[in-house]
Amino acid sequence: MKPKFVPNRAGIEAALKSETAKSVVRQGGNTIAKRAGPGFEVDVKVGTRARANVTAKTAEARRRQSRDHVLERAVGGGA
């Protein structure tokens, strides 16, 4: 008989909200913000899991995002 996999849901939830998870998503957000150029900032929040948002904070960055879609290009690795 095959052993049944029983996930430790509390452990998974704790891992997704951990300081390590926040650090990893912050690092990914910083990479994207750096590729996008000046005026973009990273904000890390924790709800059901750690997540990072990269947003345009300056008028010039908002224009570049609107016109050139720099965040989408930065996620893909180009800039």
37-46 pLDDT, tens digit per residue, is: 999 999 999 9
Q: Distance of CA 62 to CAs 10, 43, 57, 71, 78, Å?
A: 40, 16, 7, 10, 18
1-13 pLDDT, tens digit per residue, is: 889 999 999 999 9
The predicted pLDDT at position 78 comes to: 60
What's the predicted TM-score (pTM) here?
0.84
Q: What are the DSSP calls for 16-72, one per residue?
A: HHSHHHHHHHHHHHHHHHHHH-TTEEEEEEESSSEEEEEEE-SHHHHHHHHHH-HHH
Q: Where are the domains of the chain?
A: 9-75
pLDDT at 33 over 70: yes
Angle at 73 between CA 58 and CA 26, to 5 degrees: 65
